Structure 1
Amino acid sequence: MFADKLKELRKSKPGLTQEALAKQLGIAKTTYSSYEQGKRQPDYEMLQKIANYFDVTSDYLLGINQTPKDATSREVSDLKRILEQQPLTYEKTPVTDKDREAIQNILIGYFWNKGRHRVEHDNDND
């Protein structure tokens, strides 16, 4: 879970290589690469450093929840409501669990990206 999240976050930043991120974090590229491959886990301090770099929580990185640290309680409840809507169908056929998970991941990414835009816009008005 952690390895997948880490790789997904890095790839969401255009042009960010493993080597460049490792340098930003102050670790060897091989160490960082082993995190993405799931061969190694960071210690607590490095986990916090990675979370701060990507502006997410350590819980998000560990797959405990999907909530960025700047989310409001209303955003959290709205997303929960959206994801729990039943039934989810396509052409009157219920979607499979695998498809539901893929759809949820897309919705989560879209939803939190919109939330980040809100935060950036709010910061512009400070």
Structure 2
Amino acid sequence: MYGHLKELRESLGLTQEEFGKSVGIAKTTYNNYEKGERSPKSDFWISVAKKYGVTIDYLMGYSNDPDKVGKENTPTPSVDSVGVLTKDEASRISAAMDQMNEEGRERVAEYAEDLAAGGRFKKPSAAELGEKEA
């Protein structure tokens, strides 16, 4: 289950179907998100946060207060919960993104995708690492 997603929906008095529809997704998709069986993409979190006036940190369970994102008492996500990012990287990225509007956040995501797709900054695959060691 993702953070406070269900809590938010229930506080609004909405069914899963109504909540999903309000952010443009099907009930089954939303149900999978709420149960933690599927991982939402960033546009889902942004849409919910904007529509309902809460922070993404709050929705994902990194903060218990939707108004305290970016403040000292907001816990930094653990490495396990953010995948390949270190705590420092996650904290720096979160702080920078918190200062951006939706267009800025989208441009950051596009830039990161472009960097990953290009050759210079792309992490080598396991096969490539094996070739270098041989």
Query: TM-score, normalised to structure 2's length?
Result: 0.47
Q: Which has the larger share of helix?
A: 1
If asked which structure has higher relative contact order (CA below 8 Å, sep 6+), I would say 1
Query: TM-score, normalised to structure 1's length?
Result: 0.50
